[in-house]
Amino acid sequence: MKTLFEKVWDDHVVVPETADTPAILYIDLHIVHEVTSPQAFSLLRSQKLPVRRPDLTLATMDHSTPTVPGSTFRDLAVVGENAAQQIRQMEENCAGFGVDLLGYGHANRGIVHVIGPELGATQPGKTIVCGDSHTSTHGAFGALAFGIGTTEVGHVLATQCLLQRRPKTLAVTVDGALPAGVTAKDVVLAIIGHIGVDGGTGHVIEYRGSAIRSLDMEQRMTVCNMSIEAGARAGMIAPDDTTIEYLDGRPRAPTGADWDAAVARWRTLRSDDGAAFDREVTLDAATLQPMVTFGTNPGMVLGINDPVPSSGDASFRKALDYMRVEPGKPMTGQAVDVVFIGSCTNGRLSDLEQAAAVLRGRRVADGVRMLVVPGSQRVKDEAEALGLDRVFTEAGAEWREAGCSMCIGMNGDIAQPGQLSVSTSNRNFEGRQGVGARTVLASPVTAAAAAVAGRVTDPRTLLGQQES
């Protein structure tokens, strides 16, 4: 009897680990981007090595690209010289090493963790790596997917293999029906709040239970995306009909007899009844509510109407000082300067639809800047076909080009010192969205509600679901 993780791991071990050496693990898909690949390509050049499997390597540009509406490859001045240099280098490296690049202006370009799934390159049972922590996103398909460092990017480019210690397993079961106004983002923030930012350290999390099974693929990606924020190596959800329907017909999904064989194999990718996990945690979906962070890591999180805790150590008090938050009071009512809808956590079509549902017929509050940044060019095109761009712009929000944008602020999209940003991204560390910027993580619904109200607010009051 094996867990889902054990099945995928065992399928990819080239050389088992010993007490002295990690395992050598075969990698099925390597996604690279402009920030963590330049040194890796330099390593290949210095060793006179080719990319071993260009056909298993997919490159895009996302972190440093401009999101200014209508920007083109010629407008790189807006992102600053460092970012522009990364973009130019990526073009040169991919051309020089024969790597498929979804470059600036490409119809399929987008954030690494958005394009893999939407192209059907992300598939159940694969090992997937990328030089970005939130590679755990791809685990929503039953893949074993995790972030790697720059040196490891070089190792995978050169060998298609990686040295890895086998992680432990943690089952997180969420059963029951989610209350109205509670989204996948709220579920994963609640999980991180429950187990802590180091609760998953050394483990691969498998998300299970009826509440997880009820999520669509985009929502499942939101959950797996933030596994790393609980310290986990990866997050996984067993593939099912929802997964298979999502992948059917995608450009890089198998076709014909290959599709039938793949589906038959994917259906075996579930934890066997009775398979043992190293740890297990259970949450009741019915008790969950919209969640917001109040501190400077994603584990400093609470229900929208709950008071900020009043006890804590020196680092806890430092976080509250940085955030200018008072213990004993809820986050509701905090004045908002910036709202960011986007990122690999919440920059997909359904996320934009949820935010648009709040904004339709309403206005962004005076003094609030709202950026809506699609996770990929495909998401942008699909959103525009549905008229969501007009919903956002008519409400007074900015509708931007696809990219990471204010998740990390490498392209100049930042909040100013002291500004409070309600963000659908995944990290609220000090300075993550700009020096001195204060970040509150929330779902697209809660972020959109904050934009309308001009303060942190219970989104259910705007959705007509509950008085706060």
User: From the CB of 137, what's the least distance to ligand SF4, in Å?
Assistant: 8
* Sites for ligand SF4 among residues 414-443 (CB under 6 A): 425-426
Q: Which is nearer to ligand SF4, 138 or 203 (CB)?
A: 138
Query: For residues 65 and 342, is the Cβ–Cβ distance under 8 A?
Result: no
Total length of the chain: 468
Q: Which is nearer to ligand SF4, 427 or 460 (CB)?
A: 427
* Residue 113 within binding range of ligand SF4, rule CB under 6 A: yes
Interatomic CA distance for residues 457 and 455, integer angstroms: 6
The contact pattern for ligand SF4, residues 300-329, with x = CB under 6 A and - = no contact, is: ------------------------------
Token pair of 251 as six digits? 């450009």
Q: Which is nearer to ligand SF4, 37 or 343 (CB)?
A: 343
User: From the CB of 318, what's the least distance to ligand SF4, in Å?
Assistant: 24
**DSSP-based three-state secondary structure for 381:** helix
Give the one residue of 126, 134, 220, 348 binding ligand SF4; rule: CB under 6 A. Answer: 134
Token pair of 432 as six digits? 């993550």
User: From the CB of 113, what's the least distance to ligand SF4, in Å?
Assistant: 6
User: From the CB of 313, what's the least distance to ligand SF4, in Å?
Assistant: 28
User: From the CB of 214, what's the least distance to ligand SF4, in Å?
Assistant: 25
Which stretch, 109-117, 293-301, 327-335, 441-449, contacts ligand SF4 (CB under 6 A)? Answer: 109-117
Going through 285-437 in order, the beta strands assigned E by DSSP cover 291-293, 301-303, 338-341, 369-372, 398-399, 420-423
The contact pattern for ligand SF4, residues 39-68, with x = CB under 6 A and - = no contact, is: -----------------------xx-----
Token pair of 302 as six digits? 């609470």
| 263 DSSP 8-state letter | H
User: From the CB of 424, what's the least distance to ligand SF4, in Å?
Assistant: 10
Which stretch, 78-86, 107-115, 267-275, 357-365, contacts ligand SF4 (CB under 6 A)? Answer: 107-115
Interatomic CA distance for residues 424 and 295, integer angstroms: 15
* Residue 379 within binding range of ligand SF4, rule CB under 6 A: no
* Chain Cα centroid distance, residue 326: 29
Amino acid at 411: N
Q: How many residues bind ligand SF4 (CB under 6 A)?
A: 14
* Residue 348 within binding range of ligand SF4, rule CB under 6 A: no
Which stretch, 196-204, 281-289, 314-322, 402-410, contacts ligand SF4 (CB under 6 A)? Answer: 402-410
- Supply angle C-alpha 425, 396, 79, rounded to 5: 55
Pairing of strands 168-175, 203-208: parallel
Provide the total of helices (H) and of strands (E) in the chain, helices listed first.
17, 19
Buried b (16+ CB within 10 A) or exposed e, 324-348: ebeeeebbbebebbbbbbbbbbbbb
User: From the CB of 392, what's the least distance to ligand SF4, in Å?
Assistant: 19
**Backbone Cα Rg of the chain:** 21
Interatomic CA distance for residues 398 and 413, integer angstroms: 12
Which stretch, 78-86, 316-324, 329-337, 400-408, contacts ligand SF4 (CB under 6 A)? Answer: 400-408
* Residue 351 within binding range of ligand SF4, rule CB under 6 A: no
* Residue 401 within binding range of ligand SF4, rule CB under 6 A: no
* Residue 343 within binding range of ligand SF4, rule CB under 6 A: yes
Q: What contacts 347, CB < 8 A, 6 or more positions away?
A: 111, 114, 341, 373, 374, 375, 376, 379, 402, 424
* Residue 111 within binding range of ligand SF4, rule CB under 6 A: yes
Q: Which residues bind ligand SF4 (CB under 6 A)?
A: 62-63, 111-113, 132, 134, 343-344, 404, 407-408, 425-426
